[in-house]
Amino acid sequence: GAVVSQHPSRVICKSGTSVKIECRSLDFQATTMFWYRQFPKQSLMLMATSNEGSKATYEQGVEKDKFLINHASLTLSTLTVTSAHPEDSSFYICSATPASGGRWEQFFGPGTRLTVL
């Protein structure tokens, strides 16, 4: 099956620093990648949708200058949390839609736990 990886799986950083999270589709090309945020006991909240080679589309209420998304290739998207603060601590999950798949067909990464001290 289609595999999506995320790196790192866990990261702890100091307040004010920036953190980059990578999302890779390992065995397929992904035309679209999605970034979600999951709070404890809450659902996944879509942050942004990125298409290879174009600017990401952010959901309402998500600061695009704080959460920088780059989708430079068909297998890699990155999320950079800039000037992180404790309230940015969360579980970040990416997903990817294969170029050959249906629009609803998303394969999810295992997530990245971010803790900002």
Partner 1 sequence: GNSVTQMEGPVTLSEEAFLTINCTYTATGYPSLFWYVQYPGEGLQLLLKATKADDKGSNKGFEATYRKETTSFHLEKGSVQVSDSAVYFCALSDYRDDKIIFGKGTRLHILP
Interaction of residue 44 with partner 1, rule CB under 8 A: yes
Q: How remote is the C-alpha of 103 from its chain's centroid?
A: 18
Q: Pattern of binders to partner 1 over 83-102, x per CB under 8 A? A: ----------x-x-x-----
- The least CB distance from residue 113 to partner 1, in Å, is 11
**Location of structure tokens 């099956």:** 1
Does the protein bind partner 1 through residue 47 (CB under 8 A)? no
Residue 111 in contact with partner 1, rule: CB under 8 A: yes
The string of DSSP letters for 60-109 reads TT--TTTEEEEEEETTEEEEEE-S--GGG-EEEEEEEEETTS-TT--EE-
Q: By CB under 8 A, name the binding residues for partner 1.
A: 4, 6, 32, 34, 41-44, 46, 49, 93, 95, 97, 103-111
